[in-house]
């Protein structure tokens, strides 16, 4: 479904991403881990169209999407969440989800029914999304007034509202306690059950090891290992990247 | 051909004043990331106040420059206090709007104080230096010289003193600067004082170059000052200096070719050309900052 | 009475001007070009009714349309420029438009005299309304019908998805585009719509004042345009209307007592308001409070509270009256 081909992103002299390649099959959950500064977020930004890569390609469902504008990618079926949540604080929970109801507009619906009927269909979809995230009772609250955990759920809901085929989760567990991570684990699995492929960047090892089918490990912008959670855990290079070499 | 060169030369010399105004805008933007829309008005007000001061105190004509500087600095601090300090920073539109309000307020006060009539301003250095038919006006050269001295002083202040270091620190990263013990309030106030003083001098120099001051100068000065700041790059000091000279020269060039009434249209077009090709300005830092 | 109708005309046109800036402000773009668009609408509409003898309504629409097209053209380069630089760029554009009209001559001979815009002198004899039997009252009603239509349209837009999308773009562009919003389309559309509304305002202005010139569309007017929505608060269209009424009423009252010190008053007013209510006259919190109040009135709570309160006040007043009676030995 997703193929990253020899991707590189240089910021002046800094090689944030240096020749990374990996594949993601449909319905898979791929984990992307690595120490801070290894290039994980940069890769997500490139895939999501927020930055153009210095070289390399990104292929989605066989089509080359490198450097395409973000909103076109969302229409094609790629959604993402942000590491530090970027919600529309001054809009209500409902409006936050409403803004993301874009995919429907791309489908060929004649203008007037889209206006009239579209609204009702939106209501259904947003209602379902609110139920899924457990935020139905906070429908008309401003996003800025939600608790942190609720904001994270809204962030995920907003990404899902675009009905993506692929979702990029950028450190969704940051700042969560054990119970919230447990719920997140369940939600990620539910997302996959809904037919969405997941690329998950995380630092929380327990979560990644538990939920990911395969894991790719980055260090200093390069991929140093890839495989099942068990394989990656026992890989010497990975241990060296995180813990340093024994002197 | 000679006339063209003459125009250019005059424009360049006068452009030094635009540089000063641009510097004032850019200093404030660099430190607070906001534009003080009332700046040009305060500069002219400082020039007026300086004139009033020397008339009242019977001081010699050259004292108008330091007097305008002091007055400008005072107005700068007042603007800081009223428009920036009291308004919470979470409302950027509010600070912008209040500086606009100050602009109108100062403009009107000046109009009423002078009954809307232009006032004569002391000129320094009469006569010209000439090479055949090519003349460099003495008053413009004086203006240019003073502006250069002031700019040099400013650069020295910013790059060779602790205060300047603190200012540059705040402009790069306010939170980190505070963590280093720099008082944000103090730096901001000093910045406004400095830029106000610069503005006062600029106002006095305009008066001396043109021979008179009129409140009608406020609007074009504000617009041109902002254009200089943007072309040079918001927050860039060398940018403001170079852009000021550029705009001064260009302005005279446009006037030479198309006359006074159409001149300003082309100055605006110059701005748009820059914005299209170099949105960050000549020496711009980050065009995405707002 | 005519004086008050004239005032209402001014308030109406200024409300449209404020609304034109409101739409653009929602997307986070501070535009000082609205006065320029207003000028375009004014000259176009006036030239159509005076020189081409058009009926007022299509002329106004044409003025709005032309202003909208120009605004669209401005909207694209505006995308490259953020924040305060946009303020400067739009300011420069507005001034460029004004200077353009300062140099603009287009006169034709009609009925023995020359009519049409004449550079610095402006455009005189825009006499559509008087020639067609509109009184001051009729003109005022006409203006307010347009204002009502525009306000209704914007109110509806605010409550629809378009409103949420506009505000999302204004709040966080990166998040908006990641949610699938086409930033270019939204921002340029907002600028275009703002331009159209400003053009309408200009057309109406030209016809009720009958004489326009470049000085009528200067930086001060551009400032008024953004002052209204900022002062009034960006949470809904009524804030802008409230700000227009507030400022114009003050200015008009101030006019009586202070002569031509009104700009000073305007400046002072802005500085004070921004200090006292930085979120605007009717900010988002007030709106929520207002909605809560209306909701509670519906549920009868407030009515009950008002009754209790008024009952308390009534009895207090009665006690006061008795005390006075006793004091004066009545």
Please indicate whether residue C191 or residue B212 has the higher confidence score (pLDDT).
C191
How far, CA to CA in Å, does A10 sit from each of A5, A123, A215? 16, 43, 24
Buried b vs exposed e over B180-203: b needs ≥16 C-beta within 10 Å? eebeeeebbbbbbbbbbbbbbbbb
Q: C117 - beta bridge partners? A: C123
Read off the pLDDT of residues A11-46 as tens digits, 9 standing for 90 and up: 877 888 888 888 888 888 888 888 877 788 888 888
Q: Searching chain A, which residue's CA lies closest to the CA of residue C175?
A: A86
Name, of A51-65, B49-63, B226-240, C34-48, the range with top average pLDDT. Answer: C34-48
> Looking at residue A102, what is its pLDDT?
65
* Average pLDDT score, chain B: 83
Least Cα separation, residue C268 to chain B (angstroms): 6
Q: How confident is the model at residue C24 (pLDDT cuts 50, 70, 90)?
A: very high
Average of pLDDT values for B55-70? 85
The backbone torsions φ and ψ at residue B252, rounded to the nearest 5 degrees and listed phi first, read -65, -35
Q: Is A170 helix (H, G, I), strand (E, B) or coil?
A: strand
Q: Searching chain A, which residue's CA lies closest to the CA of residue C159?
A: A95
Please indicate whether residue B131 or residue C271 has the higher confidence score (pLDDT).
C271
Question: From the list C165, C172, C180, which residue is nearest A162 (CB)?
Answer: C180
Average of pLDDT values for B258-266? 83
- Superfamily of chain region A2-77+164-243: P-loop containing nucleotide triphosphate hydrolases (3.40.50.300)
C-chain CB neighbours of B264 within 8 Å are 95-96, 99
Q: Is the pLDDT of residue B60 over 70?
A: yes
Domain extents in chain A: 2-77+164-243
Tell me if there are at least 3 CB pairs under 8 Å linking chains C and B.
Answer: yes
Contacts of B285 (CB under 8 A, 6+ apart): B233, B234, B235, B236
Question: From the list B86, B90, B234, which residue is nearest C275 (CB)?
Answer: B86
HEC profile of chain C = CHHHHHHHHHHHHHHHHHHHHHHHHHCCCCCCCHHHHHHHHHHHHHHHHHCCCCCHHHHHHHHHHHHHHHHHHHHHHHHCCCHHHHHHHHHHHHHHHHHHHHCCECCEEECCEEECEEHHHEECCCCHHHHCCCCHHHHHHHHHHHHHHHHHHHHHHHHCHHHHHHHHHHHCHHHHHHCCCCHHHHHHHHHHHHHHHHHHHHHHHHHHHCCECHHHHCHHHHHHHHHHHHHHCCCCHHHHHHHHHHHHHHHHHHHHHHHHHHHHHHHHHHHHHHHHCCCCCCCHHHHHHHHHHHHHHHCCHHHHHHHHHHHHHHHHHHHHHHHHHHHCCC
* Average pLDDT score, chain C: 83
Q: Is the pLDDT of residue C33 over 90?
A: yes
Residues B274/B231, Cβ–Cβ less than 8 Å? yes
Query: Picking from B95-109, B111-125, C157-171, which range would have the lowest pLDDT averaged per residue?
Result: B111-125
* CA–CA gap between residue C48 and residue C37 (Å, rounded): 17
Residues B269/C96, Cβ–Cβ less than 8 Å? yes
Q: How confident is the model at residue C302 (pLDDT cuts 50, 70, 90)?
A: low
C-chain CB neighbours of B230 within 8 Å are 85, 88-89
Q: How confident is the model at residue A105 (pLDDT cuts 50, 70, 90)?
A: low
Residues C202/A121, Cβ–Cβ less than 8 Å? no
Average of pLDDT values for A99-122? 58
**C315: contact with B, CB 8 A cutoff:** no
Question: From the list C96, C226, C267, which residue is nearest B104 (CB)?
Answer: C267
Please indicate whether residue C282 or residue C100 has the higher confidence score (pLDDT).
C100
Q: Searching chain B, which residue's CA lies closest to the CA of residue C120?
A: B261
> Looking at residue B8, what is its pLDDT?
86
Q: How confident is the model at residue A116 (pLDDT cuts 50, 70, 90)?
A: low
**C107: contact with B, CB 8 A cutoff:** no
Tell me if there are at least 3 CB pairs under 8 Å linking chains A and C.
Answer: yes
Gap between the terminal Cα atoms of chain C: 45
> Looking at residue C44, what is its pLDDT?
93
**C6: contact with B, CB 8 A cutoff:** no
Of C164, C144, C173, C20, nearest to C83 (Cα)? C173
Neighbours of A189 (CB within 10 A): 14
Kind of pairing between the strands at C122-123 and A197-201:
unpaired
Query: Picking from A10-19, A228-237, B83-92, B228-237, which range would have the lowest pLDDT averaged per residue?
Result: B83-92
Query: Picking from A148-157, B79-88, C45-54, C154-163, which range would have the lowest pLDDT averaged per residue?
Result: B79-88
Read off the pLDDT of residues A133-155 as tens digits, 9 standing for 90 and up: 888 887 888 888 888 888 888 88
Residues B13/B140, Cβ–Cβ less than 8 Å? yes
Query: How many pairs of residues across A and C have Cβ atoms under 8 Å apart?
Result: 72
Query: Picking from A149-158, B59-68, B80-89, which range would have the lowest pLDDT averaged per residue?
Result: B80-89
Average of pLDDT values for A54-78? 85
- Pair of tokens at residue B5: 């060169």
C-chain CB neighbours of B222 within 8 Å are 219
Q: What is the DSSP letter of A64?
A: E
B-chain CB neighbours of C100 within 8 Å are 265
The backbone torsions φ and ψ at residue C80, rounded to the nearest 5 degrees and listed phi first, read -80, -10
Residue B247 CA, distance from chain mean position: 13
Quick one: which H or E segment has residue A193? Answer: helix A178-193
HEC profile of chain B = CHHHHHHHHHHHHHHHHHHHHHHHHHHHHHHHCCCCCCHHHHHHHHHHHHHHHHHHHCCCHHHHHHHHHHHHHHHHHHHHHHHHHCCCCCCHHHHHHHHHHHHHHHHHHHHHHHCCCCEECCCCCCCEEEECCEEEEHHHHHHHHHHHHHHHHHHHHHHHCHHHHHHHHHHHCHHHHHHCCCCHHHHHHHHHHHHHHHHHHHHHHHHHHHCEECHHHHHHHHHHHHHHHHHHCCCCHHHHHHHHHHHHHHHHHHHHHHCHHHHHHHHHHHHHHHHHHCCCCCCCCCCCCC
Go through chain A and tell me how many residues it has.
247
Least Cα separation, residue A183 to chain C (angstroms): 24
> Looking at residue C150, what is its pLDDT?
94
> Looking at residue B265, what is its pLDDT?
85
Give all chains having 3 or more CB-to-CB distances under 8 Å with chain B: C
Least Cα separation, residue B111 to chain C (angstroms): 10
Go through chain C and tell me how many residues it has.
330
* Residues of chain C that touch chain A, judged by Cβ-Cβ distance less than 8 Å: 160-161, 164-165, 167-168, 171-172, 174-183, 284
> Looking at residue C252, what is its pLDDT?
67
Q: Is the pLDDT of residue C255 over 70?
A: no
Of A201, A159, A15, nearest to A74 (Cα)? A159
Quick one: which H or E segment has residue A199? Answer: strand A197-201
Residue C23 CA, distance from chain mean position: 11
Question: From the list C161, C176, C284, which residue is nearest A101 (CB)?
Answer: C161
Read off the pLDDT of residues B91-111 as tens digits, 9 standing for 90 and up: 777 888 888 888 888 888 888
Q: Is the pLDDT of residue B286 over 50?
A: no
Q: How confident is the model at residue A106 (pLDDT cuts 50, 70, 90)?
A: very low
* CA–CA gap between residue A225 and residue C309 (Å, rounded): 74
**A205: contact with C, CB 8 A cutoff:** no
Return the ∠ at Cα A21 (arms to A17 and A25), rounded to 5°.
Answer: 130
* CA–CA gap between residue B130 and residue B127 (Å, rounded): 10
Mutate to test the interface with C, among A90, A162, A165 (most CBs of C within 10 A): A90
What share of chain B in percent tops pLDDT 70? Answer: 94
Read off the pLDDT of residues C92-143 as tens digits, 9 standing for 90 and up: 899 889 888 888 888 877 777 777 788 777 888 788 887 777 888 888 899 9
> Looking at residue C325, what is its pLDDT?
66
Q: How confident is the model at residue B13 (pLDDT cuts 50, 70, 90)?
A: confident
- Using CB atoms within 10 Å of the CB of residue A7, give its burial: 0 to 12 exposed, 13 to 18 middle, 19+ buried: buried
Q: How confident is the model at residue C282 (pLDDT cuts 50, 70, 90)?
A: low
Query: Picking from A98-112, A183-197, B150-164, which range would have the lowest pLDDT averaged per residue?
Result: A98-112
Average of pLDDT values for B57-79? 88
Read off the pLDDT of residues A153-190 as tens digits, 9 standing for 90 and up: 888 888 888 888 899 998 888 888 888 888 888 888 88
**A166: contact with C, CB 8 A cutoff:** no
Average of pLDDT values for C259-269? 73
Q: Is the pLDDT of residue C305 over 70?
A: no
Q: Searching chain B, which residue's CA lies closest to the CA of residue C227?
A: B97
Tokens 């002391």: give the residue: B122
> Looking at residue A107, what is its pLDDT?
47
What share of chain A in percent tops pLDDT 70? Answer: 90
Residues A4/A20, Cβ–Cβ less than 8 Å? yes
Contact B94 C85 (CB under 8 A): no
Least Cα separation, residue B45 to chain C (angstroms): 15
* CA–CA gap between residue B209 and residue C15 (Å, rounded): 42
Q: Searching chain B, which residue's CA lies closest to the CA of residue C77?
A: B276
Contact A88 C171 (CB under 8 A): yes
Q: C114 - beta bridge partners? A: C109
Question: From the list C25, C30, C261, which residue is nearest B108 (CB)?
Answer: C261
A-chain CB neighbours of C181 within 8 Å are 71, 99, 102
Contact C164 A91 (CB under 8 A): yes
The backbone torsions φ and ψ at residue C229, rounded to the nearest 5 degrees and listed phi first, read -65, -35
Contact C268 B105 (CB under 8 A): yes
> Looking at residue C145, what is its pLDDT?
94
Question: From the list A69, A79, A98, which residue is nearest C161 (CB)?
Answer: A98
* CA–CA gap between residue A89 and residue A100 (Å, rounded): 15
Q: Is the pLDDT of residue B220 over 90?
A: no
> Looking at residue B91, what is its pLDDT?
73
Least Cα separation, residue C135 to chain A (angstroms): 40
Q: Is the pLDDT of residue B168 over 80?
A: yes
**C174: contact with B, CB 8 A cutoff:** no
Q: Is the pLDDT of residue A108 over 60?
A: no
* CA–CA gap between residue A117 and residue A122 (Å, rounded): 9
**A117: contact with C, CB 8 A cutoff:** no
């Amino acid at each position: 479904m997703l193929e990253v081909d020899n991707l590189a992103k240089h910021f002046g002299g800094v090689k944030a991403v240096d020749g990374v390649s990996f594949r993601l099959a449909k319905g898979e959950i791929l984990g992307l881990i690595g120490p801070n500064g290894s290039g994980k977020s940069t890769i997500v930004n490139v895939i999501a169209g927020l930055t153009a890569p210095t070289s390399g390609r990104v292929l989605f469902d066989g089509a080359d999407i490198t450097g395409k504008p973000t909103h076109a990618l969302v229409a094609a079926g790629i959604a993402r969440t942000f590491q530090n949540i970027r919600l529309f604080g001054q809009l209500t929970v409902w409006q936050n989800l409403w803004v993301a109801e874009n995919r429907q507009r791309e489908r060929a619906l004649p203008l007037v029914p889209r206006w009239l009927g579209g609204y009702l269909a939106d209501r259904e979809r947003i209602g379902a999304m609110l139920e899924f995230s457990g935020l139905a009772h906070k429908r008309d609250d401003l996003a800025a007034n939600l608790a942190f955990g609720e904001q994270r759920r809204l962030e995920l809901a907003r990404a899902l509202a675009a009905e993506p085929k692929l979702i990029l989760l950028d450190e969704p567990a940051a700042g969560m306690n054990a119970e919230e991570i447990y719920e997140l684990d369940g939600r990620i699995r539910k997302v996959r059950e809904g037919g969405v492929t997941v690329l998950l960047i995380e630092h929380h090892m327990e979560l990644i090891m538990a939920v990911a089918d395969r894991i790719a490990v980055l260090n200093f912008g390069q991929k140093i290992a890839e495989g099942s959670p068990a394989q990656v855990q026992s890989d010497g290079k990975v241990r060296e990247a995180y813990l340093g070499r024994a002197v | 051909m000679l006339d063209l060169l003459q125009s250019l030369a005059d424009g360049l010399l006068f452009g030094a004043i635009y540089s000063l105004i641009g510097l004032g805008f850019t200093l404030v933007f660099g430190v607070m990331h906001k534009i003080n829309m009332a700046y040009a008005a305060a500069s002219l007000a400082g020039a007026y106040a300086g004139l009033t001061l020397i008339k009242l105190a019977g001081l010699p004509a050259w004292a108008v420059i330091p007097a305008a500087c002091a007055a400008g600095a005072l107005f700068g601090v007042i603007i800081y206090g009223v428009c920036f300090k009291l308004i919470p920073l979470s409302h950027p539109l509010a600070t912008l709007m209040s500086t606009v309000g100050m602009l109108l307020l100062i403009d009107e006060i000046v109009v009423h104080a002078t009954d809307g009539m232009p006032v004569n301003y002391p000129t320094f250095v009469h006569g010209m230096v000439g090479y055949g038919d090519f003349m460099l006006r003495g008053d413009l050269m004086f203006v240019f010289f003073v502006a250069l001295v002031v700019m040099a002083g400013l650069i020295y202040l910013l790059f060779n003193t602790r205060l300047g270091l603190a200012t540059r620190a705040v402009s790069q990263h306010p939170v980190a600067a505070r963590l280093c013990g720099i008082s944000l309030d103090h730096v901001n106030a000093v910045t406004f004082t400095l830029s106000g003083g610069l503005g006062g001098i600029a106002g006095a120099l305009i008066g001396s170059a043109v021979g008179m001051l009129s409140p009608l100068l406020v609007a074009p000065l504000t617009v041109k000052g902002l254009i200089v700041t943007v072309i040079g790059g918001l927050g860039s000091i060398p940018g403001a200096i170079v852009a000021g000279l550029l705009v001064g020269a260009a302005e005279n060039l446009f006037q030479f070719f198309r006359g006074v009434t159409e001149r300003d249209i082309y100055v605006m077009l110059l701005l748009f050309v820059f914005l299209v090709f170099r949105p960050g300005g000549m020496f711009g830092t980050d065009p995405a900052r707002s | 009475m005519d004086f008050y109708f004239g005032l209402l005309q001014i308030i109406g046109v200024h409300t449209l001007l404020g609304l034109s800036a409101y739409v653009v402000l929602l997307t986070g773009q501070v535009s000082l070009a609205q006065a320029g668009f207003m000028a375009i609408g004014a000259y176009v509409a006036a030239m159509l009714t005076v020189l081409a003898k058009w009926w007022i309504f299509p002329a106004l629409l044409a003025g709005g349309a032309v202003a909208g097209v120009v605004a669209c053209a401005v909207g694209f380069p505006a995308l490259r420029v953020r924040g305060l630089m946009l303020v400067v760029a739009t300011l420069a554009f507005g001034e460029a438009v004004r200077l353009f009209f300062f140099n603009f001559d287009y006169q034709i001979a009609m009925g023995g005299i020359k009519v049409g815009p004449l550079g610095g002198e402006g455009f005189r004899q825009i006499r559509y309304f008087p020639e067609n039997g509109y009184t001051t009252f009729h003109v005022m009603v006409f203006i307010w019908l347009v204002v009502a239509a525009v306000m209704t349209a914007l109110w509806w837009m605010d409550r629809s998805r378009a409103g949420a999308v506009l505000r999302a773009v204004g709040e966080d562009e990166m998040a908006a585009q990641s949610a699938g919003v086409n930033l270019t389309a939204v921002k340029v559309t907002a600028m275009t719509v703002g331009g159209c509304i400003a053009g309408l305002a200009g057309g109406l202005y030209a016809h009720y004042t009958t004489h326009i010139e470049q000085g009528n569309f200067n930086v001060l007017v551009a400032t008024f345009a953004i002052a209204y929505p900022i002062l009034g608060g960006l949470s809904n269209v009524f804030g802008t209307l409230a700000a227009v009424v507030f400022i114009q009423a003050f200015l008009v009252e101030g006019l009586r007592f202070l002569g031509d010190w009104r700009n000073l008053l305007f400046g002072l007013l802005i500085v004070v308001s921004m200090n006292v209510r930085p979120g605007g006259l009717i900010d988002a919190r007030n709106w929520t409070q207002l909605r809560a109040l209306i909701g509670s009135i519906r549920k009868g709570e407030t009515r009950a509270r008002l009754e209790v309160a008024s009952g308390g006040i009534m009895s207090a007043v009665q006690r006061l009256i008795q005390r006075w009676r006793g004091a004066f030995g009545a």
